[in-house]
Amino acid sequence: MRGPGETQLETDRRLLRNRIVQIQSRLERVEKQREQGRQSRIKADVPTVSLVGYTNAGKSTLFNRITEARVYAADQLFATLDPTLRRIDVADVGETVLADTVGFIRHLPHDLVAAFKATLQETRQATLLLHVIDAADVRVQENIEAVNTVLEEIDAHEIPTLLVMNKIDMLEDFEPRIDRDEENKPIRVWLSAQTGAGIPQLFQALTERLSGEVAQHTLRLPPQEGRLRSRFYQLQAIEKEWMEEDGSVSLQVRMPIVDWRRLCKQEPALIDYLI
């Protein structure tokens, strides 16, 4: 509705400004909520796997296939504006958070990167990136380089990455498989999110990549928690130990993330002792 003496153009500009303010406010709320959730997951060492990839590589389709969630999967740039998070169960790892994010493009403007900071934050703080690639696209290498450029721009280029070569159903006589490096570590999985072929191989690769993660923490245990201290000794996880003036004991521990998460489930109070 126009104010007194206001032209249609001025009205449109005012409405647009209001809309921008609303969107910015929503993004700030999203970022705050995500940060609270991230901090809780970090304390419990719940790994986060973030899907990244060039637009139309099939990230949301893969997300749907893995989680059986109804996420909007469309051939459309930025169809996923707000990262969708789901809990999945990975063998020998347990609860893992899977995050779907926006599709990347070449020459992504700096202003746009800033605008989607809340969305991209899940990528920046992920335990492992699943770089989804359209294996049937003739510009495979160009698309990979474009995604890597954006990852570097948001300081996520050093996060461990597993390549996911998607859409093998569009390649002739191509079977699902896991490619490994010289240390036998999974580095690439070939699959089809559309048909589901290769999903078991993907979960196998996730198990191998995530179960090798290590948890390192510093804790302060009150005097009455001698039993918990003994458990850390049984796990051979204590790297350093010292007494505090109030009688509490501080521990610096290092252990496989699988053991840490199992201990957190068995001893819920453990999280409260983290420094």
Are 201 and 248 contacting, i.e. CB atoms less than 8 angstroms apart?
no
pLDDT per residue rounded down to tens, the chain (275 residues): 555 656 788 888 888 888 877 877 776 666 666 555 555 545 456 888 999 999 899 998 999 999 874 444 454 444 444 557 888 888 888 888 898 887 776 666 666 666 565 566 668 888 899 999 999 999 999 999 989 988 888 888 888 999 999 999 999 989 999 999 998 889 999 999 999 999 999 999 999 898 877 788 899 999 999 999 999 999 899 999 999 999 999 999 988 877 887 888 888 888 889 98
Counting Cα atoms < 13 Å in the Cβ hemisphere of 265 gives 9
Q: CA-to-CA distance for 132 and 56, rounded, in angstroms?
A: 10
Torsion sign (Cα): 48, 126, 196, 201: negative
Q: What gap in Å lies between CA 251 and CA 241, rounded to an integer?
A: 5
Q: Determine contact, residues 176/197, Cβ cutoff 8 Å.
A: yes
123 CB-near residues (< 8 Å, 6+ apart): 50, 52, 99, 101, 129, 151, 154, 156, 159
Contact predicate 253/237, CB 8 Å? yes
Which domains are delineated in the chain? 44-211 (3.40.50.300), 214-273 (3.30.70)
How far apart are alpha carbons 110 and 43 in whole angstroms?
Answer: 32
Chain centroid to CA 151: 13
CA 214 to chain centre: 17
At 261, which helix (H) or strand (E)? helix 257-266
Q: Which residues contact 162 (CB under 8 A, 6 or more apart)?
A: 128, 129, 130, 131, 186, 187, 188, 189, 205, 206, 209
Q: Which helix (H) or strand (E) holds 166?
A: strand 161-166
Q: Which two tokens stand for residue 145?
A: 């380089």
State how beta strands 84-90 and 94-100 pair.
antiparallel
Whole-prediction pTM value? 0.66
Supply angle C-alpha 31, 33, 39, rounded to 5: 95
Q: What per-residue confidence (pLDDT) applies to 137?
A: 95
